[in-house]
Each structure stands twice: as C-alpha cells, then as structure tokens.
Structure 1
Amino acid sequence: MNIEKFIQRAETLHTRLADLYQTASVLPWIPPDMLPQAFKELYSTSRMVQLAAEELYQQNEELIQTRNLLETERQHYQELFEFAPDAYLVTNTDSVIQEANQPTAQLFKISKQLLLGKSLINFVPTEERQRFRNELIQLSQLPPSHRVRELVIRLQQKNSDCFDAALTMAVVRNQQGRVIAIRWQIRDVTERHHQIESAIVKNDNDLSQNRSIHKYSKGETIPLNPLVIWYVRQGLVKLSTFCETGEEVLIGLATTGMVFGSSMTSLQIYQATALADVELVSIYLAEIAVSPMLSCAILPKINQRLQQTEYFLVIAGKRRVQERLHHLFQFLKQEVGEPVTEGIRLSVRLTHEDIASACCTTRVTITRLISKLQQQRLISFDAKKHIILKGFGE
C-alpha cells in the first residue's frame, strides 16, 4: 500500500465515523439494535486503518534501512573519492567544477571551496586553451560506446606555476544518452617527463659510446644500408632524390643530433651527401627493436625528420619561387644559422644548385633572385662564401 491509499482510507474512515456519530446523537429514536452494528462497522474500519498503518510502518522501516545503506555506500565512495591518491573532479559539459577532492586542491594549490564553481579552463595556460576546448568538443561527440578519452597537456596552478598533466576524462550520460557531466582524473607527470628527457639525453650520449664513428668529408656520398640508421654525431648531411629529368631534388638536411637512413623513406632513389665534414654512428634497426631505451632516444629524432619533411612540402607548395626561397631561408636560419655581427650566418655553404633543388626551380632563377636580395641588402656573403641573412624574420 502507498501513502495515497492510506490517506484515502483515512478520509473514508473519518467520513463514516462522522456519519455514525450524527446518527447516534441527532436521531435518538433509532432502534437500539442498530448501535452494535454501528460499533461493529467502526471496529472493522478501525482494523483496516490499523493494518494500513502497520503496513506503512513496515514500508517506512524498509525505506529507512535502504536510506541508511545508501548513505553508508555514499559515505564509502565519498571517502574513496576524497582520499584517492590522484586528483579527481566532476564538471558539467562546460568544464565548470561541481565536485573536487582534496588532492585536486593540493595539485592546483587552491582551497576546495574556491575550486567549486570555477571553470577548469582557468587552470589551462592561454596557449593551450584552444586545444583544450577542441578536446571538450570531441569528448561531447563521442559515441555512447566510447566513454573515456585521454590527454596530456600543460596545466597551471594558482601561483602561475605550470606542470605537465595526464588527464583521463569520462563522460556521464542521462537516460536519453546526452552527456550531462564529465569526470576527470588528473595526474602530475612532470617528474616522469623529466626522467624520460634525462634518459633521452643519457641515451644521446650513449649512442656514440661503444660504437664505431664513421667520418666522411665534404662532398662525399654516404652509403645507405636498409638495416641501418645513421646518427649524425657532427656535421650536416644533404638528403636528396632525382626526378625523371635527372635533376636533383633536396628533401632534407640532417643536422647534428638527427637520424637518417634508407629505411625511413619509400623513395626508390635516395641519396645522402656530406655538406660538411661529418661524423656518423651506425645503429642497426634490430637493436632499436629490442631496446626500449634506444627506441625512446631515436623516436624524437625521427619526429624531427618528419617535421622537417613537412616543412619542405610547405616550401614546395608555394606558388611563387620568391616565396619558396624566403621560406627556405627561414628554415635554414633556424636549422644551421649562427649569429654574427652582420646578421645570421648559415654555417654550411650551399651552392645555387642546392638552393634551386630545394625550391623546385632552376639554378639560373636562384642566381637572379639572390642577386636581387643582395641589392636589397637582405643577404650578403662572408669571405668563405657563406650566406648571411639580414631580413628573414619569422
């Protein structure tokens, strides 16, 4: 029986008792044999009320027990939430913080009371906020079968100190499948990154240890072995291919600390030439496959080559040769530039043919453009014919 039925029966009882009372008191000429029947009916009705009350009491007791059980479980999970070793918080879909545990307050160096109601984006450095917003949009668009997304991003404490954070984000949906909240786990991984960086630096030093150093003079062609990756210990290597007309195309420059090899390309024709005296160390791919630490050291260097390749694609995609040359000089300024009194000196001497191949044009065109840049005092040459850049800011 629910509470509505109990109220209904109580009202019926009240009405019938009132009728009986009026009958007994206002109409005294009613035969006396009717009174026992009235009392019997009153007793029966009272019994119904009593049973209903007992049933309601039993239901109330069960509800109290259930509530106590739920409260105990809620307290248990609240303690797990509060005393978890990592920072946990709950936000709405706009990243406004609704709940946060004590480790979250400690991580951001702010009290829990001040955390609540603030947007999590307030703790994201300005330069990372657009990426953070994009992640939120992608999170809200996850299909129902996918609830969790991970992100590594820089976060900022109240005192403006920053740290590297690994975020695990889980969406909460209502019965209609709409995202209504986001649960966050935040871990400070700054120390881990420092350990990895230290290991990479150590491995960089180890790359040359217990390995033969191969030296090649300027202009020499470096042999390529598909089972080997070359690590540039010192110097500069030109990476190129040849088109159908026989013209050389510059596709990369491997500077000190970078890697290259025929296993890193799908080009059938791939050539490496020393642009300056170089020292190389050979590393077998089989070594990398079985050594996590060696893989950890090599991966960022492969990433460098990938980024450089994309930059050369951008240069090749410029419609005007002047634009290609301008972007090439910007790239060389960053990769092999060194400050001198007159500007930025390219530490390696590039021929007009080298520059033309990088810009997908002819040597004659490059010679004409360089002469024009000299007249405009944007570039000059030192005594050893190295280019000095004067007006090629980003």
Structure 2
Amino acid sequence: MNIEKFIQRAETLQKRLADLYQTANVLPWISEDLLPQAFKELYNNSKIVKLAAQELYQQNEELVQTRNWLEAERQHYQDLFEFAPDGYLVTNTEGIIQEANHTAAKLLNVSKHFLVGKPMINFVPLEERQQVYSELIQLSQSDRVRELLVRLQQRYGEFFDAALTVTVVRNQQDKAISLRWIVRNISDRQYLESGIVKNDGDFFNDRHVHKHYKGETIPLNPLVIWYVSQGLVKLSTYCETGEEVLIGLATAGMVFGSSLTSLNIYQATALSDVELVSIYAAEIEASPNLSHTLLPKINQRLRQTESFLVISGRRRIQERLYYLLKLLKREVGESVPEGTRLSVRFTHEDIASACCTTRVTITRLMGKLQEEGIISFDLKKHIILRDFD
C-alpha cells in the first residue's frame, strides 16, 4: 500500500473515532460506565497507529533520500569507470572477461555486450598466448602489480602494442577471485622510434599532466618514472633517528621515481606547484629512442645525488653549507641585479637536513653569512647569493 494513502486512512479513522467518542460522552441518556471499554481502547490505539504511521512516513522519506544518494554515487563511479581514458577490464582468474568499460571495448573493436564472457586470451596472437597463460598462473599466486607488454589484435582489425597493468583481487580467505586490468594502446607512441622528437616539449605534449600543489607528497609507483615538466620536487629519506635527509632536487626536465633508488624509504614532496608526466617502465623497454631520451636525465639525477653525497662527507659544517649553496645556485639559481636568487624558498630545516646538522646550527651560520654580506633575502624570503663562487 502507498504510504501516503495509509497515513490518510489512519488520520480519517482517528478523526471518526474522535467524533464518536465525543458524541458518546455528551449524550445525556448514556452514562459513562456504560461506554464500552473496547471503544476507549480502540480510540487510544488509533492515536498510536497515527503516530506510528507518521514515523513510518518520515523513515520512508529518509530511505528514499538515501537510495537516491546511493544511486547518484553508484552512477558517479560507474561513469568514472565507463569513460576513463584507459581501458579497464575485470576478469576471473582464468582471464574470462566479466566487466569492461567503453574504452576497452573501443580498443578491442568489440561491443561491451559481446565482450563480456570472452577469454582475454582471444585477443592475443597465437604465438604469444603461452606466455600470457604463464603470466596468468603467476598472477594468481602473487600480490604484486604486474606490468605486461604484449600485442593485442582488434576484432577484424590490426594488431597494436599494449601495456597491461594487472592486479589480483582476493577474498577474506586470501583466495584469488578476479583480476583487474588496465589496457593502454602504446602504438601511438611509437613515433619515438622514428627519431623525429626534437625536444622534451614535443615528446611530452601528448601526455596527461599530473598537477601537485606546494607541500603535497607525490605518490610513487615502481612501475612509473615521473618527468618534471614544471616546478621543483624535493627527494628525501629518513635516518634511524627519524630525521629527514635531503638526497635530491628534481627540477624541470629531470626524472625521479622509486625504481631509480634502492632506498627502502623514499619520499617526493612538491617544493612548489609542480606538473608531472608519467612514463611507464614497459614503454621504456619497448622504445630504444625513449630510453635514449631518458638516459641523460637519469645521469643528471645520478650526478646530483653524488654531489649531495660529497656535501654530507665534508667534516666541517661550514663547508657543507658552502657546497650546498653552491649546488643550489647551479640547480635553481637565477640571475638578479643583486646576485643569484634561488628560485625556490628553502627553510632552515630543509638546509639542515641536506647538511646533516640541526636547524639551530644552520640558523646561526646563515645569520653569520648575512652579516658578512655573502647572502641576503628578498621580500619573499628567497636566498640571494652575492659573489658566491
């Protein structure tokens, strides 16, 4: 029964009972002791029914609102899945497709309706299927995210190079129940092989830009190398005492990533608003030209890391500070009338972590350099180096 009709009937019943009760009380020929007890109870119960109906109505309204909210949330995440720029597939542990988004269906040239229930292996060339079978077996036995580089064939179409990122989903009993796939067509990036790339701008123009604001921690993925398109990123680790140690600065045109270090603790923090571009390890393996492009950038990070090691190896703290400022001048310095201005504001804590000393010591030494006129500060507290060689 419709809840609103039920409430209306309950209210009508309660009103009629109230009228009868009032009439019975005022009739002169009916004494109060003759009024049936059942009638009194019926009237009282009708009021309880009315209150219960009102409460039920309120609960029903809340349930409707909650259902609408949940449906909107479901639709929101369904849209995120459906219209994501990458292809997404969900399969069972044998690779039978259970779900697919619009992008995946377009990549494989199959409608979503016909894609569900098809083995993923059907889109792999015959000569490469054994390798994919072996990978599927290993996936069910591992919790690691795997990156596969394979050729896929569209239905009634051409082959294309694909980067597949696969992760396993387990139930509460730790049994593998499904696989989740991200499918990317990297064939359109094979222009790297032709040697027509002239500069970094041309190379990264067609890639998605990830933006992080100053102070944010940048997530690290062993399958991804980050290229800094704009801004400055602080790379650090932590020593046994819990103190942060600065080990690198990734400026525009440099790369960084957890796969480029053997440190167990490795953190990347935006020292300014930054724009980053992701490069997948599978792409580097597939493209010698890409490897050739990235090698100088990796060497640049290596040389900078060695410079920081040299700084930390100096015995006297004054020497560590001197060589650190010299390094910062080279990495992030810009010419101004007063000398060389560091384009990023470094706190005494940042400088202390790079010099392996305390903030108090750095504050004292920086004050001494300022008194000697070797350094100064602009209105935004950026360090300006004067006659600093």
Give TM-score, length-normalised by structure 2: 0.49
Larger Rg: 1 or 2? 1
Give TM-score, length-normalised by structure 1: 0.49
